[in-house]
């Protein structure tokens, strides 16, 4: 399997598939809010909705992993349970608490661009906090270009517009995502990424469900389309994260993460198509999207200055 998953055509197809699925989640969540009649102010129901999604996603991953391995995959040992708990708290509970509340208060197009910042935060966190790689001038330039792109995305009619409970919470979610990416890369080196993904989704999803329910959240499936969108969102998480984790396990980070530039593109295009947000985001979103993608490409490029110095 390792030999197959390191082939460039396979990496390209699977990485782009993951990014397409992630991009489709932005309009899908907002459509889900409408189908389930979840308002912007219903934080409790938003968390409950997220919890059901990720609990189902965890079950899907565990079932798929068990079928592939022809036996039920189970975590063994205290250390494995600790790793699952750590990922569940950061990658699912913390990240998606901010994400679901934030997305209810901003557009899917804008959120997809802000979320792309996780590439830059991952680089900074990996280099400055975990010392897993060097922070070079080229990477700093890529991060700065990406930050400029996100700044432009928040320009409404030429005026900086930043909604704390919308854009701010999406930004917090992105920082949590960056931390989880670094943690996942570190933990998956000696662990089954499918097992980690499945059980952390189920654990984090259960925490979200309990939190939302205790806060007073209630959800009733009102129609077949509503049930479909919930199952689809669970599938998105199960498939995209599992595929991405497996690719990271068998390939260099740069070879996989370079395709992250397509994530905001898919998110922007799908949100524009399905949510008809074109009139809300404005023409400034196009150069903003370009700069974010350019920044991601630069960060993941192998081009460096001959006389460059490592910053860390």
In a domain, 265, yes or no: yes
Q: What's the CA dihedral at 171, 176, 182, 187 to 10 degrees?
A: -160
In a domain, 154, yes or no: no
Look at 86 and 110; give whichever has higher pLDDT. 86
Interhelix angle for 169-188 vs 95-103, to 10°?
150
Q: What's the CA dihedral at 173, 207, 14, 149 to 10 degrees?
A: -10
Residues 93, 54 contacting (CB under 8 angstroms): no
Look at 151 and 188; give whichever has higher pLDDT. 151
| Residues in contact with 92: Cβ distance below 8 Å, sequence separation at least 6, in sequence order | 54, 200, 201, 203, 204, 205, 207, 208
d(CA 87, CA 192): 14
Among residues 247, 284, 223, which one has the least CA distance to residue 17? 247
In a domain, 157, yes or no: no
In a domain, 239, yes or no: yes
Q: What is the pLDDT of residue 154?
A: 67
Domain that holds residue 63: 2-133+162-281
Per-residue pLDDT averaged across 209-214, rounded? 94
Query: What pTM did the predictor assign?
Result: 0.80
Whether 308 shows a pLDDT value over 60: the answer reads no
In a domain, 172, yes or no: yes
In a domain, 306, yes or no: no
In a domain, 309, yes or no: no
User: Distance of alpha carbon 150 from its chain centroid, rounded?
Assistant: 16
Please, which pLDDT band fits residue 130 given cuts at 50, 70 and 90? low
Kindly state the tokens that stand for 50: 């997220």
Q: How many domains does the chain have?
A: 1
Q: What is the pLDDT of residue 232?
A: 95
- List, for residues 28-41, the tens digit of each pLDDT value: 999 999 999 998 88
The segment with the largest mean pLDDT, out of 37-41, 52-56, 163-167, 243-247, is: 52-56
In a domain, 149, yes or no: no
Q: What's the CA dihedral at 40, 45, 49, 51 to 10 degrees?
A: 120
d(CA 65, CA 242): 10
């Amino acid at each position: 399997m390792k030999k197959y998953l390191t082939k460039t055509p396979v990496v390209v197809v699977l990485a782009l598939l993951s990014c397409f699925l992630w991009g489709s989640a932005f309009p899908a969540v907002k459509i889900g809010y409408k189908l389930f009649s979840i308002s912007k102010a219903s934080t409790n129901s938003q968390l409950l909705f997220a919890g059901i999604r990720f609990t189902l996603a965890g079950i899907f991953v565990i079932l798929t992993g068990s079928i592939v391995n022809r036996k039920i995959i189970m975590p063994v040992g205290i250390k494995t349970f600790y790793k699952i708990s750590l990922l569940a708290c950061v990658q699912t509970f913390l990240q998606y608490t901010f994400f679901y509340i934030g997305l209810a208060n901003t557009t899917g197009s804008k959120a997809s661009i802000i979320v792309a910042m996780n590439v830059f935060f991952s680089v900074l966190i990996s280099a400055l906090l975990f010392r897993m790689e060097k922070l070079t001038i080229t990477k700093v330039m890529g991060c700065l270009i990406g930050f400029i792109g996100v700044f432009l995305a928040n320009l409404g009619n030429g005026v900086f517009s930043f909604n704390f409970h919308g854009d701010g919470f999406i930004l917090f979610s992105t920082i949590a995502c960056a931390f989880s990416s670094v943690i996942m890369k570190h933990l998956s080196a000696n662990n089954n990424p499918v097992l980690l993904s499945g059980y952390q989704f189920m654990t984090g999803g259960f925490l979200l469900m309990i939190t939302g329910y205790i806060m007073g959240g209630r959800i009733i499936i009102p129609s077949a389309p509503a049930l479909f969108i919930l199952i689809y969102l669970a599938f998105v998480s199960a498939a995209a994260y599992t595929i991405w984790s497996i690719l990271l396990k068998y390939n260099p980070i740069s070879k996989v993460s370079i395709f992250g530039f397509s994530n905001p593109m898919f998110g922007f295009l799908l949100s524009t198509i399905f949510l008809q947000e074109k009139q809300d985001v404005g023409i400034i979103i196009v150069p903003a999207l370009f700069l974010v993608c350019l920044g991601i490409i630069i960060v993941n490029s192998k081009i460096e200055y001959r006389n460059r110095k490592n910053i860390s």
